[in-house]
Homo-oligomer: A and B are copies of this chain.
Amino acid sequence: MTVAAKSEIQIDNDEVRVTEWRLPPGSATGHHTHGMDYVVVPMADGEMTIVAPDGTRSLAQLKTGRSYARKAGVQHDVRNESTAEIVFLEIELKA
């Protein structure tokens, strides 16, 4: 059984929404489409399994404190098939 990822909104103002995501081993976000451009700040080293809408799977490495940016429209399920918790902040840009 897949457990759900845990999320907590830290900031939600006119410009940004900042959400802390925690994915325990075995958890997944579920398929979703990003409605806003966003920045990810990994809070721990980790490995995400990314599942595209067509089922294609890929691995993505998270390095603590190494941010990256993505554009709106990204569609995926993010799964934790590793043995370590995945923790990151997602900064969605409303402008």
Does A75 count as interface, using CB distance less than 8 angstroms? no
A60-95, CB < 8 A from B: 64-69, 87, 89, 91, 93, 95
Chain A interface residue count, Cβ-Cβ cutoff 8 angstroms? 22
Contact B65 A87, beta carbon cutoff 8 Å:
yes
Does A41 count as interface, using CB distance less than 8 angstroms? yes
Which residue numbers of A lie inside 8 Å of B, CB to CB?
10-11, 13, 15-16, 18, 20, 37, 39, 41, 43, 64-69, 87, 89, 91, 93, 95
Can you report 30 A-B residue pairs in the complex whose CB atoms are below 8 A from each other?
Answer: A10-B66, A10-B67, A11-B67, A11-B68, A11-B69, A13-B69, A15-B37, A15-B69, A15-B93, A15-B95, A16-B39, A16-B69, A16-B91, A16-B93, A18-B39, A18-B67, A18-B69, A20-B65, A41-B41, A41-B89, A41-B91, A43-B43, A43-B64, A43-B65, A65-B89, A67-B89, A67-B91, A93-B93, A93-B95, A95-B95
